[in-house]
Amino acid sequence: MATSREQILDTAEELFGNHGYRATSLQQVAERCEFSVGALYQFFSGKEELLRGVMERRGLVQLAEMRRAAEGGDLLALVDTIVAFHRRYPAFGRLSARVYSAGSDAPAGYHLFEANYRTAMDLYASVIVSGQQRGVIRAGNPQALARLLSSMVTAYHRVDPELVGSGPTLTEPEFRQIVARAFAA
């Protein structure tokens, strides 16, 4: 039973990440899993709960990795952790970029993920405060700078050559340099 649930979550993550929440149907998820749509309802009450399951499963792991990286107080180490996580789970990276972007593809109930977003912003802000206290990060409101950093990381997922394959890209060293310069004291 657990394997079936994981298979459904893996498939939904891939489809939501590659095609968007609205463009993906439960029928498509079921077909890819070789289940009936009715079988999906044994695990999830609907598409929104399935999205919540996908976001929670990877989101909690990502937050744990971010917490460990934030302990060192190094902004670039935190950024590297997030980039590496999304490279390890590229469909989740694309899905996150869709869910947390302006004009989001997520359902109206995406507020379900706001707790994770707030936690991530608090982690960014704590690293920023630490850097400000050490004189290595520019002055400014830590929460505002955290949102700016989050937006930069989200935008990078759209130009990361390991995630997008073609089109305009930016290497990780180039991105790190942009972040370092933007936040330098």
CA distance 150 to 21: 21
Q: State the pTM of this model.
A: 0.85
Domain ranges of the chain: 54-183
Reported as a single tens digit per residue, the pLDDT across 27-52 is 999 999 999 999 999 999 999 999 98
Would you call 78 exposed, middle or buried from its count of C-beta atoms within 10 A (0-12, 13-18, 19+)?
A: buried
> Architecture of domain 54-183 in CATH?
Orthogonal Bundle (1.10)
| Mean pLDDT for all residues in the chain | 90
pLDDT at 1 over 70: no
